[in-house]
Amino acid sequence: MPPKAKFTREEIVNAGLNIVRKRGMGAVTARELGMELGSSARPVFTVFHSMEEVQEEIVRAAKEVYNRCVKQGLSQEMAFKSVGMEYIGFAGREPQLFRLLFMRERAETPGVKDVLFAIDDNHEEIMHSIQAQYGLSEENAWALYRHLWIYTHGIATLCATNVCSFETGEIDGMMTAIFTSILKNIKAGEKYDQSL
């Protein structure tokens, strides 16, 4: 009969998230998990088959934390802008989780047209919010989304890596200026490079 699990999957994954938040995914080992749980490493393997499985679950849990931020943004009146602000806020509040989800090397490098499909499970909901709120065609909504995501990702990366800080309201003003400019040009019939 297999040994009774001392900790649940959720407890182990939450311990892993705590380690990632403090020191990044590279610090997640069976020994560190055991220490975080106040135990030895052994209980980890009564629940999980391997550290790879634990790490996959930690990534999944990190995505859930991020997805809650996106849902919060989508529930706001200015949904698209709010999602962008939540993305940047997530990078500032959870820099290690942001790095884990959005700044790690990938086995395959997606082109800019496909990057949102590859890294963000919320892309369809976000895109539909743009179409609904601004009355854009699918093609124009994707162009706006990609341009703003690239800009937003840049700001978020600066925040997650402590390269620079921003004053309260500064990011809001920057996002509004870029968004307004691109939307105005799209509505005026300007074609954006469809590779973006």
pLDDT in tens, 152-185: 999 999 999 999 989 879 999 999 999 999 999 9
The residue among 22, 32, 30, 36 whose CA lies nearest residue 52 is 30
* pLDDT, position 118: 75
Confidence of residue 13 (pLDDT cuts 50, 70, 90): very high
Average pLDDT score, the chain: 89
Nearest-Å Rg of the Cα atoms of the chain is 20
pTM (2 d.p.): 0.88
Terminal Cα-to-Cα distance of the chain (whole angstroms)? 57
- Cα–Cα distance, 90 to 98 (Å, whole number): 7
Looking at the chain, the whole-number percentage of residues with pLDDT higher than 90 is 74
Q: How far apart are CA 16 and CA 162, in angstroms?
A: 23
Mean pLDDT is lowest, of 31-40, 54-63, 112-121, 182-191, for: 112-121
Chain segment 74-93, per-residue pLDDT in tens: 999 999 999 999 999 999 99
For 157-186, the DSSP string reads: HHHHTTS----TTHHHHHHHHHHHHHHHHH
What percentage of the chain reaches a pLDDT higher than 70? Answer: 93
Secondary structure letter of residue 29 according to DSSP: -
| pLDDT above 70 (res 195) | no
Q: Residues 137, 140, 142, 148: is their CA dihedral positive or negative?
A: negative
- The amino acid present at 27, given as its one-letter code, is A
C-alpha span between 105 and 14 (Å, rounded)? 24
Compute the distance between CA of residue 115 and CA of residue 102 in angstroms, rounded to an integer. 10
- 125 exposure class (CB count in 10 Å sphere: 0-12, 13-18, 19+): middle
pLDDT of residue 1: 41
Summarize the confidence of residues 53-81 as an average pLDDT: 96
How confident is residue 111, by pLDDT bands cut at 50, 70 and 90?
confident
User: What confidence score (pLDDT) does residue 133 get?
Assistant: 93
Between CA 54 and CA 170 the distance in angstroms is 39
Neighbour tally for 57: CB within 10 Å:
18
Can you read off the two tokens belonging to residue 13?
């994954």
